């Protein structure tokens, strides 16, 4: 690690950028560029509990990436291998060959060093995330906190099921943006009080396909990983869901997880047409629908972790 006595004085100019340019925030991550020179970047991360960071292998990428944990603990899944890092532990890859999913098990801080610049792509993806989150909040009655809760609960189930890195990244991104397709549904249908006609419900169902297309768009490369979750989160285990009526293991497991969590969160939230139900009632209903609407493997994992869910707005 660098300190003031080993930092070359010429690096001081690099720090003299306007404040703000070198820091990126999301609701669960703060990323600060500490130093950069000749393409190498040293970035300080703060990741809040259940926050996620992903590394994706890319063709033509042959760089050194290293992470050293300063505080907290990180659950790191490299491909399908999972380990836990504690302060002082480090990860080094040159290059990263497989997807890596890093989940903060508690509030954590680490230094990340890359031999090629990555910070600008953080800025681009964070501003893209922010714009989409605002669009969803404006369009739907849901708040950003609903989306973040779905992401957090889904991720806890995904970890319980030992999903591999790409499934965990798909789950985290797909859960957060599962209803993004609603931005293309007309307001008069989305916000209609009372019953929808069959034709109107057919239009609502389209939000799954619209969501997949938005997330697969070349404009949103940081969302591609989650598109299948948006597409399949209303499929049901017995084939009664939409848009395709997929059954059992035909449904992508991360999407089957979001199906359970989205239903559970709707039950325990106050909605315009329905007051919040008790957590115990909601858990009992989900359990009773195991093997019918919901994947039994997912329901079992849900029952193991649901007591740790905290409803934070």
- In sign, the C-alpha dihedral spanning 121, 78, 82, 152 is positive
Closest CA to 53 of 33, 75, 84: 75
CB of 180 to Fe ion, least distance (A): 9
Q: Looking at beta carbons only, is 210 or 222 nearer to Fe ion?
A: 210
**42 DSSP β-pair partners:** 35, 113
Give how many residues touch Fe ion by CB under 5 A.
1
Choices 90-98, 116-124, 126-134, 174-182 (CB under 5 A): range interacting with Fe ion: 174-182
Helix (H, G, I), strand (E, B) or coil at 195: coil
CB of 28 to Fe ion, least distance (A): 22
| Interaction of residue 179 with Fe ion, rule CB under 5 A | yes
Q: Residue number with the shortest CB distance to Fe ion? A: 179
Q: Looking at beta carbons only, is 148 or 179 nearer to Fe ion?
A: 179
Closest CA to 101 of 87, 84, 123: 84
Provide the angle, in degrees to the nearest 10, between the axes of the packed helices 119-139 and 144-160: 120
Q: Looking at beta carbons only, is 65 or 179 nearer to Fe ion?
A: 179
Q: Looking at beta carbons only, is 179 or 235 nearer to Fe ion?
A: 179
Choices 83-91, 177-185, 192-200, 235-243 (CB under 5 A): range interacting with Fe ion: 177-185
**DSSP for 227-264, written as a single string:** HHHHHHTT--TTS--SSS---GGGS-HHHHHHHHHHHH
Q: Looking at beta carbons only, is 22 or 179 nearer to Fe ion?
A: 179
> What is the contact surface with Fe ion in residues (CB under 5 A)?
179
């Amino acid at each position: 690690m660098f300190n003031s006595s080993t930092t070359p004085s010429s690096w001081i100019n690099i720090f003299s950028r306007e404040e703000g340019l070198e820091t990126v925030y999301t609701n669960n991550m703060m990323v600060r560029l500490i130093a950069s020179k000749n393409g190498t970047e040293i970035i300080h991360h703060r990741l809040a509990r259940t926050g996620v960071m992903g590394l994706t292998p890319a063709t033509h990428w042959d760089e050194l990436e290293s992470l050293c944990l300063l505080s907290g603990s990180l659950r790191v899944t490299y491909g399908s291998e999972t380990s836990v890092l504690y302060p002082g532990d480090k990860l080094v890859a040159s290059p990263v060959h497989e997807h890596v999913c890093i989940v903060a098990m508690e509030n954590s801080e680490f230094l990340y060093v890359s031999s090629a610049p990555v910070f600008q792509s953080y800025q681009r993806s964070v501003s893209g995330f922010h714009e989409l989150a605002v669009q969803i909040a404006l369009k739907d009655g849901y708040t950003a906190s609903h989306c973040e809760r779905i992401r957090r609960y889904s991720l806890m189930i995904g970890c319980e099921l030992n999903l591999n890195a790409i499934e965990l990244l798909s789950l985290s991104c797909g859960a957060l943006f599962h209803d993004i397709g609603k931005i293309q549904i007309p307001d008069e249908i989305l916000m209609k009080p009372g019953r929808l006609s069959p034709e109107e419900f057919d239009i609502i169902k389209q939000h799954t396909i619209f969501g997949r297309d938005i997330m697969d768009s070349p404009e949103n490369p940081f969302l591609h990983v989650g598109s299948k979750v948006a597409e399949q989160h209303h499929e049901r285990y017995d084939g009664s869901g939409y848009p395709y009526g997929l059954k059992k293991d035909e449904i992508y497991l991360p999407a089957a997880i979001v199906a359970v969590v989205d239903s559970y969160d709707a039950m325990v939230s106050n909605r315009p047409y329905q007051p919040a139900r008790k957590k115990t009632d909601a858990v009992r209903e989900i359990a009773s629908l195991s093997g019918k609407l919901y994947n039994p493997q997912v329901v079992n994992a849900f029952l193991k972790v649901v007591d740790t869910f905290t409803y934070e707005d």
